[in-house]
Amino acid sequence: MRLLPIIFAVLLTACRLGAGEEFRFPPPEFESGYSLPQTTHPAVSSCEIVDIALLALALLAAGFLAHRARSRRGLVALAVLSLLYFGFWRQGCVCPVGSIQNVALFLSGGIASLPIVVVVFFILPLLFALFHGRTFCAAVCPLGAVQELALWKPVKVPEWLEHILGTLPYVFLATAILFAATGGQFLICQYDPFVSLFRLSGKVSALAGWGAVLFVCLFIGRAYCRFICPYGVLLKACARLARKRITITPDECIRCRLCEDACPYNAIRIPVPGGVERKTAPRERKILAALILLLPVLATLGALAGGRLGVFLAAKHPAVKLAEDINRRNLGETPKDNLPLIALRINRGDEGQVLLRAEKIRRQMKAGAATGGAILLFLLGMKLILLTVRPPRRDYEADPAACVACGRCYEYCPREQARLKIVPFDN
C-alpha cells in the first residue's frame, strides 16, 4: 500500500485544470487520426462522465466476479461488453494504456493540464489493482478482452522464453515515455495493433498488423498483454501489493495440477518443498552472493548501453530529423521535405530554435535512455535473484503479477466444482 500516497499525489497534481492554457511545445503528429483530448475547458462532458462511471462499474463488477462469485462465465460476459463499448463504440480512446503518454507529456511540462477523464482512466485501474489484482485485465480492458476471446488452442511458452520476452514491455514503456515527454510521437497509439480493428478502418499495414497479432493470440495467450503492453508493467507492480489476490481453490489445494494445465499464461506457481538440501545449499548461496555483487555492474552496463540507444532513438524524433535536414540544406544537400513549411508549422519558422530544441532532445534522450537501461538491467538482476531464492510453497498458487484473473482455473479445480455442487468430491 505504499504506492497509494504517491498515486493520490499524482492524481491531485494532474487535476490542475485551467481554462485557456496552451501547449508549451507543439503536440506530436499522428498518422492514425488520433487527436489529443481537449484541455482548454475544465468542464467534463456528459459522455466523459458516462465513460468514467462505466469504467468504475466494470472494475467493481470484475472484482466481484473474480473474487466473490468466482465466475469464469461472468468474466467472459463482462469482457464482451467492455470490448463492445470501450473497444468498438468508443474506438479504444481514451484508454489507460495510451494515457501513459498524456501523463508523461504533462509531467514533463509539454502541456499545462490534463483532462479529468485521462487522469481517471490512468489512475483508477491501478488503484483497483492495489486492492483486487489485475481485474482490469480480466474483463475491462478491450485490448485484453479481444485477445482472451480469440484464444483458441493455447500453446505453453517455455519458462525461460517467458522471462526473456517479459522484459520487452519495460523497454516499450521507457521508450514511449521518452518520446511523449520530449514532444515526439505517441508510440503506444501509433503502434497499437488493435486501434484499426476498433475503428474498422486504417492503412493496409495497420490492418495487417492487428491481423498478425490476433493470429498469434489464437495460440499464445494474450501475447500483446504479456510481451508488449507498457501499462501492464504498472499493473504488475500494483498487483504484487494487492490486498486481495486470486486464489485458485476456494479452500484446500489437493495438488491435482489441473490449474497448471488450464492456465495459458504461465501464471501458476508450483509447490516448492520446504528447506534446501545440504548438498545444494552452499552452491545456491554462492550464486545468490554473486548475483547481488553483480547488480551494480548490470546497472552500469545498462546505463552505457542505454546511452548509446538514446542517440539512436533521438535520430528518430521528428524535431531531430528536421534539424538534420536543415544541416543538410546548409551543406548544399537537397532535403527530402519542404523545410520552410515544416519549420513554420513546428517552430514558427525559427530554424535556430529548431536546432536548439533538437540538441536538447538529444541530451534528454541520452540521459533518459541511460537511466532506463540502468533500471532495466537492475530489475533483470533482481529477477534472477528472486528466481534463485525460492521460498517454500505448499500449494499451487496464482502469481499475483502474472495472473490476469481470467478465471480459467476455477472451472478445472475439483474443489471449486464440489463447492458449486457440480460434481461430488470425496476426500
Q: Using CB atoms within 10 Å of the CB of residue 25, give its burial: 0 to 12 exposed, 13 to 18 middle, 19+ buried.
A: middle
The single residue listed with the C-alpha cell 532495466 is 376
Q: How far is CA 207 from the centre of its chain?
A: 22
**Amino acid code (one letter) for 237:** A
How many angstroms separate the Cα of 301 from the Cα of each of 83, 161, 371?
A: 42, 22, 11
Distance CA 222, CA 214 (A): 9
Tens digit of each residue's pLDDT, the chain (427 residues)? 444 444 444 433 433 333 333 333 344 544 445 555 554 445 677 888 999 999 999 999 999 999 999 999 999 999 999 999 999 999 888 789 989 999 998 888 778 788 899 999 999 999 999 999 999 999 999 999 999 999 999 998 998 899 889 989 999 999 999 888 887 778 888 888 888 888 887 777 777 888 888 899 999 999 999 999 999 999 999 999 998 889 998 888 888 889 988 999 999 988 887 654 444 567 777 788 888 888 889 899 989 998 888 888 888 888 888 778 777 777 766 655 555 545 545 544 567 777 888 888 888 888 888 988 898 888 888 888 877 777 778 889 999 999 999 999 998 888 888 888 776 655 5
- Give the whole-angstrom CA distance, residue 207 versus residue 213: 10
pTM: 0.81
Q: How many CB atoms lie within 10 A of CB 243?
A: 9
The set of cell numbers assigned to 78 is 463482462
